[in-house]
Amino acid sequence: MWNQQYEAMDREKLKTLQFLRLKQSLERVYQLVPFYRKSFDSIRAEPGDIRCLEDLQKLPFTVKDDLRDNFPYGLFTVDLNEVVRIHSSSGTTGIPTVVGYTKNDLDTWAELMARTLTAGGGSSESIVHIAYGYGLFTGGLGAHYGAEKIGATVVPISGGQTKRQVRMMRDLGTTLLACTPSYALYIAETIAEMDMTPGDLKLRSGIFGAEPWSESMRRVIEDKLQIDAFDIYGLSEIIGPGVAYECSAKAGLHISEDHFIPEIIDPASGEALPVGSTGELAITTVSKEALPMIRYRTRDITTLNYEPCSCGRTHVRMDKVSGRSDDMIIIRGVNVFPSQVESILLEMGETEPHYQLVVDRVGSLDTLQVLVEVSEQMFSDHVRGLESLERRIRLEIDNMLGVTADVKLVEPKSIPRSEGKAQRVIDKRNL
Ligand code: DLL
């Protein structure tokens, strides 16, 4: 454990700490950010009305559009003089959102990533290969400062030039890989293409996140790279990576509750849901200086688990994120997450782990097409074998998810590989 005092803090003490920090954050945003003052005033609430942690549920949510509406600095609580770093989340549509950090915020972030890396097998002995993108994306620099904090040897390679990445990992004796799970898979594929095996590298573990990936995908990555694969979660608006991380139990991601208060809400009504329910994660930051967030709606779907963890950390665990509520595809009334299709494909084990979902509308009917790659050998096999596999996958998707999909097996390497976040869904209905 990187920080026993906080990561294994007695839960009663933790709640007291959260509450004290929450009060300060609420005062801060109420005094300094017109948006929050207006939002609290709209329900006639003042920070003083929040008398216990549960009272937080009385306050309005903050959503991504609030950041856009106040672009670029409108939600900051400090003068720009005190802001030492900007990151931005690359919105696919419209105005990007900008997030800022004070010196203390960067220290907190490094601390959180130090916890993440330590839980993921990192130490001062590690050689950490950071293939998350550097730049405005929070992945690269977030992992970077955490890795330096634990005293590891950092290779800040960023994304791209995958063959060179593999050669560097081999030559430098890299032990820990940090990148998106889809890029880890691409790296594994490239190792094989270069006629190498994982045995030619010294990789032992990886911290993968920034996009949803299923348990089955974990097994594929662990198997192909011969490593321990850990899930890490975060989002720019809250701080970047480092919000939650898996420990060796690999049974949920510990949310650093000394800095964040998580809630699960009904994505449709916004009502808080009882402990153990699956719903949208909302997060309140309690220590952020430049850009505190009150009840920020992440759109990510998960479940919280307060049972004690075998690793000794006391912080609540969130399940692997199954998807974003806005990535959920609704096909003729049935909700489908790409990660559910991923699990089915990988569990069947007859295709390659590369797939894409194409959603379209024919007349007034939504259609779902699942494109999935098969191996070279299988592709050159006779057509009947392929047709039969397509049929079996279609049946399995129908049985497990209750939707009819058109399954199409495609040539090896025909689905674009990703160096960052993979694009799993192509929704032609929006075009
Ligand atoms: O993706 C921060 C990050 C970088 C996390 C590196 C982990 C590793 P954004 O670009 O703002 O920040 O995107 C945040 O990505 O709301 C989730 O939908 C998704 N996401 C992040 N981590 C996971 C994960 C970074 N482990 C959005 N599992 C979030 C599933 C994830 N989805």
Last residue of a domain, one of 326, 355, 389: 326
| CA 206/CA 232 separation, integer angstroms | 10
Instruction: Evaluate: CB of 246 within 6 angstroms of ligand 1.
Output: no
Last residue of a domain, one of 326, 349, 364: 326
Do residues 279 and 264 make contact, with C-beta atoms less than 8 angstroms apart? yes
CATH number at 10 reads 3.40.50.12780
Say whether both 192 and 319 belong to one domain.
Answer: yes
Say whether both 177 and 316 belong to one domain.
Answer: yes
CATH number at 387 reads 3.30.300.30
pLDDT score recorded for residue 327: 82
pLDDT score recorded for residue 92: 55
Say whether both 45 and 177 belong to one domain.
Answer: yes
Do residues 221 and 206 make contact, with C-beta atoms less than 8 angstroms apart? yes
How far away, in angstroms, is 390 Cα from ligand 1 center?
Answer: 32
Say whether both 117 and 241 belong to one domain.
Answer: yes
Say whether both 88 and 202 belong to one domain.
Answer: yes
How far away, in angstroms, is 212 Cα from ligand 1 center?
Answer: 8
Instruction: Evaluate: CB of 100 within 6 angstroms of ligand 1.
Output: no
pLDDT score recorded for residue 329: 87
Output the residue whose Cα is nearest ligand 1's atom 20. 210
Max Cα-Cα span within the chain = 72
Say whether both 204 and 297 belong to one domain.
Answer: yes
Instruction: For residue 384, give Cα distances in angstroms to 39, 42, 387.
Output: 62, 64, 5
Q: Residue 73's closest CA among 294, 290, 234, 283?
A: 290
What is the full per-residue pLDDT of the chain (431 aa) written as tens digits? 999 999 999 999 999 999 999 999 999 999 999 999 999 999 999 999 999 999 999 999 999 999 999 999 999 999 999 999 999 986 655 678 899 999 999 999 999 999 999 999 999 999 999 999 999 999 999 999 999 999 999 999 999 999 999 999 999 999 999 999 999 999 999 999 999 999 999 999 999 999 999 999 999 999 999 999 999 999 999 999 999 999 999 999 999 999 999 999 999 999 999 999 999 999 999 999 999 999 999 999 999 999 999 999 999 999 999 988 878 888 888 889 999 999 999 999 999 999 999 999 988 888 999 999 998 888 887 788 899 999 999 999 999 999 999 999 999 999 999 999 999 999 898 65
Say whether both 261 and 334 belong to one domain.
Answer: no
Last residue of a domain, one of 326, 357, 373: 326
Say whether both 347 and 310 belong to one domain.
Answer: no
Question: What is the residue range of 263's domain?
Answer: 1-326
pLDDT score recorded for residue 102: 98
Question: Counting runs of H as helices and runs of E as strands, what totals does the chain give?
Answer: 12, 20
Say whether both 62 and 100 belong to one domain.
Answer: yes
How far away, in angstroms, is 133 Cα from ligand 1 center?
Answer: 13
Q: Which atom of ligand 1 is nearest to the CA of 421?
A: 1
Residue whose CB lies within 8 A of the most ligand 1 atoms, among 99, 296, 298, 300, for a mutation test = 300
Say whether both 298 and 343 belong to one domain.
Answer: no
| Entry pTM | 0.95
Say whether both 226 and 341 belong to one domain.
Answer: no
How far away, in angstroms, is 242 Cα from ligand 1 center?
Answer: 10
Residue whose CB lies within 8 A of the most ligand 1 atoms, among 88, 182, 183, 233, for a mutation test = 233
pLDDT score recorded for residue 90: 67
Say whether both 56 and 176 belong to one domain.
Answer: yes
How far away, in angstroms, is 385 Cα from ligand 1 center?
Answer: 38
The number of folded domains in the chain is 2
pLDDT score recorded for residue 84: 98
How far away, in angstroms, is 360 Cα from ligand 1 center?
Answer: 26
Instruction: Evaluate: CB of 209 within 6 angstroms of ligand 1.
Output: yes
